[in-house]
Structure 1
Amino acid sequence: MGTALITGASRGIGLAFARRLAADGWRVHGCCRMPEKARALKDVEGDVECHRLDVTNGLHLRALGRELADEPLDLLINNAGIFGPRGGFGRIAYEDWLQVFDVNTLGPMRVAEAFVRHLERAESPKLINLSSRLGSIAENDSSGWHLYRSSKAALNMVTKCMAIDLAPRGVVVAALHPGWVRTDMGGRSAPVVPDDSVDAMLATIDRLGTDDSGGFYASDGEPIPW
């Protein structure tokens, strides 16, 4: 077991990660924008701390980095994300597009830069970016959802760059697609519950080695084409 930091940990997939890791004996730093409303996260049994963190806010990141300055991180999960408006060609909300990129693409990079020193203190650190199959260019045969798709395609490139950047520091980096999960974002008709998605992803994360770094994988570890 070890220490994990999870962004977007107050609900959905992030909350499921916090519960499962804490149940397995991990020390968990669960981050969310409004801790005062994160009752479910605060109620998780085990060694769990709830922190205020907006991944678009550099002051939050620096403050949390200082707070955890002496703590190695074995696992960092960049889970925080937003979908944004679903309009396609001819109905693009450009200001919203910038916000989606700020959270989904720039956010994970900010978090990685803020906590890389914590990761490199661990014995076998891993950094996981929660991506989406919708970000696969090769598999896009329906268009639509331009904002979210493009932010996740860009995150995949960021993941590959991170893997190269952090290889000398011993950090394994990967992008994972959690599946179509029944969350506020995924909707009630999604076929996968958060606990099942997290169980599959954690099994995949456990298997990831240096040769897998920089890859894009489904929750079960199957490679997804870029």
Structure 2
Amino acid sequence: MDVDVYDSLDGQVALVTGANRGIGSEIASALASRGATVYAGTRDSTAVTAPDLRPVELDVTDDESMRDAVGRVDRETGRLDVLVNNAGVGGPTGPLHENDVGDIDAVFDVNLRGPVVLSRFALPLLLKRRGGRVVNVSSGMGALTGGMGGGHGPYRISKTGLNGLTAYLHGEYRSDGLLANSACPGWVRTDMGSEAAPKSPEEGADTPVWLASFEPGSPAGRFWRDRDPVEW
């Protein structure tokens, strides 16, 4: 799709969750290479060693941690142009009736509640300028049109909910200039995806990075894979 994207993100600020490895690390590095000041959120800030990233302690299951991370971005830069909700867990693989309730809660906390609450804390900064972007790293396994069978119940449901967050943010804040989109990175060679996956983390990061580079007025409220909108 032909979309206007920034040639450079110089002067802009991004916050990426789960940025210490896999797709999140690639997203953070790619945004920094385009000129953005990137806060790389992770539970252990010492795990981020790249000199062009700003490590920030951020646990998406801890409200104060999320609030403090956004507060630091505000204190140091006074702005936030891009929020990438990337942190996620796979959870139990069997059908729902075999899943432990504690495991269900753990998946929802990371994959859905975390992005909702972090978005809530980040919105005042994102809305200071038209064209703020929220990119939710979702999955085709959460697309209602793709069929929802095959186990991985909590993961699928949480990603459906994440797409719902995208739709809500678009409906509520598009008139304020916010661009909210979801991305399916595909099956990627990460700790979650396994070495059998066909895509590299860099390839998985491509669409989220592209969405994070959208100029004001670009398409939003959509679900994307390989830079094309898909049904969800």
TM-score of the alignment, normalized to the shorter chain, above 0.5: yes
Q: Which runs of 5+ in 1 are unaligned?
A: none
Structure 2 CA distance, aligned partners of 1:208 and 1:152?
26
2:85 maps to 1:78? yes
Structure 1 segment 1-226 matched on structure 2, within 5 A? 1=9, 2-36=12-46, 38=47, 41-42=48-49, 44-46=50-52, 48-70=53-75, 71-140=78-147, 142-207=149-214, 210=217, 212-218=219-225, 220-226=226-232
> Aligned residues, how many?
220
TM-score, normalised relative to structure 1: 0.90
Cα shift at 1:205:
4.1
Q: Which runs of 5+ in 2 are unaligned?
A: 1-8
TM-score, normalised relative to structure 2: 0.88
Question: Alignment identity in percent?
Answer: 32
Q: Would the alpha carbon gap of residues 208 and 139 (structure 1) be closer, same or farther in structure 2, given more than 3 Å must change?
A: farther
Query: Which secondary structure state, in structure 2, belongs to the residue aligned with residue 154 of structure 1?
Result: helix
Q: Kindly indicate whether the alpha-carbon contact (under 8 Å) linking 1:119 and 1:125 is maintained by their aligned counterparts in 2.
A: yes
**Which string of whole-angstrom CA distances, capped at 9 and with x for unpartnered residues, describes residues 156-200 of structure 1?**
112101111222321100111011111001111010001122234
The two structures, once aligned, show a CA RMSD in angstroms of 1.8
Cα shift at 1:129:
0.6
2:4 corresponds in structure 1 to none
Cα shift at 1:207:
4.6
Which structure exhibits the higher relative contact order, with contacts defined as CA atoms closer than 8 Å and separated by 6 or more residues? 2
Query: Which secondary structure state, in structure 1, belongs to the residue aligned with residue 189 of structure 2?
Result: coil
**Which string of whole-angstrom CA distances, capped at 9 and with x for unpartnered residues, describes residues 46-99 of structure 1?**
2x2101111121111222222222421111100011111111154222221111
Q: Would the alpha carbon gap of residues 214 and 208 (structure 1) be closer, same or farther in structure 2, given more than 3 Å must change?
A: farther
**Which string of whole-angstrom CA distances, capped at 9 and with x for unpartnered residues, describes residues 95-133 of structure 1?**
211111111111111111111111122342110011000
